[in-house]
Amino acid sequence: MKTVTALKSAEIFEDGRPVPQGQYELKNPCQMWKCLRGWVDKFGHNIRIIVTAADGSTYKDFTVKELKNGKYFLVNAVKETNRVQAAKARKAAAEKAAKIEAKKAKRRAYDKARRERLKAQKVSAK
């Protein structure tokens, strides 16, 4: 089942100042992606677009980077809103936890075998 994040609005800033008529209501990410290119064409390449989720947190924070050939692309300026990076961080944390747990399990097995060996030595010594 596909889930959709509810969005609240998009604000457009130019040189740190809000652009007149630069606040737009959004309902979902699909609408946001459809509007991004239009906003860049309308307001120019020196803008920043902040998209807010329904709960008030920042969903995406874009800055426009102009390339040498005159084209542009949108840079996700706030790394916390990059879902791919967050997923990679979760995966790395899970792998680290699994590695630590495997090390502890190996140590527990070694200690158990050592205790058994010492018991066997004690029994054979009697």
Q: Is the pLDDT of residue 13 over 60?
A: yes
How many whole angstroms separate alpha carbon 17 and alpha carbon 109? 62
Q: Where are the domains of the chain?
A: 7-81, 82-126
Please tell me the pTM assigned to this model: 0.58
Q: What is the dihedral of CA 81, 24, 8, 35, to 10 degrees?
A: -50
In 1-126, the DSSP E strands lie at: 7-14, 17-25, 47-53, 58-66, 72-76
Percent of the chain with pLDDT over 70: 91
Q: Is the pLDDT of residue 23 over 60?
A: yes
Q: What confidence category does residue 1 fall into, taking pLDDT thresholds of 50, 70 and 90? A: very low
Query: Do 114 and 122 contact (CB within 8 A), yes or no?
Result: no
Q: Is the pLDDT of residue 102 over 90?
A: yes
Q: Is the pLDDT of residue 37 over 90?
A: no
- CA angle 101/107/110 to nearest 5° reads 145
More confident residue, 77 or 4: 4
- In the predicted model, what is the mean pLDDT of residues 16-39? 86
Place of tokens 């990059």: 82
How many whole angstroms separate alpha carbon 49 and alpha carbon 61? 6
Count of residues in the chain = 126
- Supply the pLDDT for residue 103: 97
- In the predicted model, what is the mean pLDDT of residues 106-118? 96
Q: What confidence category does residue 117 fall into, taking pLDDT thresholds of 50, 70 and 90? A: very high
